Chain A
Amino acid sequence: MAMQAATASTPTQVSAAEQIQKLREAYADAPEVGRVALDKVRGELEAAIRLRQQQQQEVSTAGRIGLRRGKVSELTGIVKLSPGGAKRLRLLLNTLGNKLPGRRQGRHASRHALCLPRQRHEAPVRHRI
């Protein structure tokens, strides 16, 4: 039985090694600092992949959009501000301090609000890891 388990785990190990190899190929044209770093932690990464596969610690979707791990989801929005919008929003945030209205709902772990220094006009692209 122990032998069976050991045999069953072999494809997973091969798969982890293959995945690392693919990543090394992707990093072939990376700056020296990135390539060296990747080689240094190669063993650790393989172990992490195997652990992930065993524990099935998957990131899932938070619903229509966004990611969720366990009970916690992320929501990242990048929006274009209307004229005067930054000034109004800044005053609101400065007045309320950390007392943002969502606190009463009791489901926010943390929330950032910031104004980007440069506005870009392209539509933001969301990417799911």
Chain B
Amino acid sequence: MAMQTQTSAASKQDLSVEQKIQQFRELFADAPELGKKALENALHELKSQASDLPPPVESAGRVGARLGKVSELTIIVPLAPGGAKRLRGFLRLLRGNLSQGANKVGTLHNMRFVFFDNDTRLLFATAFDGDWDTYIDDFVAKIPDYLDIIDSAWEGWPGIRSPGAKDYLIKHQITAEGWYVAHPDLTVAETTRLKRIGKAVDEFLDKVSA
């Protein structure tokens, strides 16, 4: 009985994979030659990857994607007049190293600021632990002023203490279509702990072997 169920599930999955591959082929029919050829080359691998159930990418809360414990936040905002100049000045002052503020929040894996369209727009992308609302609340509680220094460069930013701040962020955030994380099971705190343990083990082994 168990065998039957397994076989049935497998064939259903196979069918689904075959259907997906067929969908690919149809969609790539009008792709550039380069894309069509690449798809044919990678088809075998795609089949095997698509047939394994991938760890689910979930919602990070109100907006954004989450894989395991790690979420993504991608915002594209119009910059206020003079905003790019001010924000660039601030980032250069710290040489782009915002670790002091980030360490206070404690759940921030990385972040980047990219100016584009001749300094009229900004891409802000970050990876963080857990839920969107908790993350924003942490910023409000721990480093509200740093956020206002940065975000006052954005057109129409109401201020982090404003009731409209979260609505502003949601309006400009775009949920990623693809979200890959090398270690989705590790939070920033856990990574720090593992680094500490690894260092201690290395030191211990050095002492033992000396």
Q: What is the CB-to-nearest-CB distance from A27 to chain B, in angstroms, rounded to a whole number?
A: 6
Interface residues of B in 141-195 (CB under 8 A from A): 144-149, 151-153, 157-159, 174-182, 184
Among candidates A23, A36, A48, A91, residue contacting B89 with C-beta atoms closer than 8 Å = A23
Q: With a CB–CB cut-off of 8 A, which chain A residues contact B175?
A: 114
Q: With a CB–CB cut-off of 8 A, which chain A residues contact B119?
A: 125
- Of all chain A residues, which has the CB nearest B156? A31
B27 near A114: Cβ-Cβ < 8 Å: no
Given contacts A33-B152, A41-B146, A98-B57, contact A112 B176 (CB under 8 A): yes
Q: How many A-B residue pairs have CB under 8 A?
A: 195
Q: What is the CB-to-nearest-CB distance from B131 to chain A, in angstroms, rounded to a whole number?
A: 18
Chain A interface residue number, banded = 35 or more
Say yes or no: is B109 at the interface (Cβ < 8 Å to chain A): yes
Given contacts A95-B20, A125-B117, A127-B115, contact A112 B153 (CB under 8 A): no
The proximity string for A residues 88-116 relative to B, scoring 1 for CB distances below 8 Å and 0 otherwise, is 11111111111111110010111111111
Q: What is the CB-to-nearest-CB distance from A22 to chain B, in angstroms, rounded to a whole number?
A: 7
Among candidates A57, A98, A111, A120, residue contacting B54 with C-beta atoms closer than 8 Å = A98
A93 near B27: Cβ-Cβ < 8 Å: no
Q: With a CB–CB cut-off of 8 A, which chain B residues contact A51?
A: 100
Q: How far is the CA of A102 from the CA of B32 in the complex (A)?
A: 22
Q: With a CB–CB cut-off of 8 A, which chain A residues contact B7?
A: none
A34 near B153: Cβ-Cβ < 8 Å: yes
Given contacts A26-B86, A33-B159, contact A122 B96 (CB under 8 A): no
Q: What is the CB-to-nearest-CB distance from A36 to chain B, in angstroms, rounded to a whole number?
A: 8
Chain A residues with a Cβ under 8 A of chain B:
19-20, 22-23, 26-27, 29-31, 33-38, 40-41, 44-45, 48-49, 51-52, 57-59, 67, 69, 72, 74, 76, 78, 82-85, 87-103, 106, 108-117, 120, 122, 124-127, 129
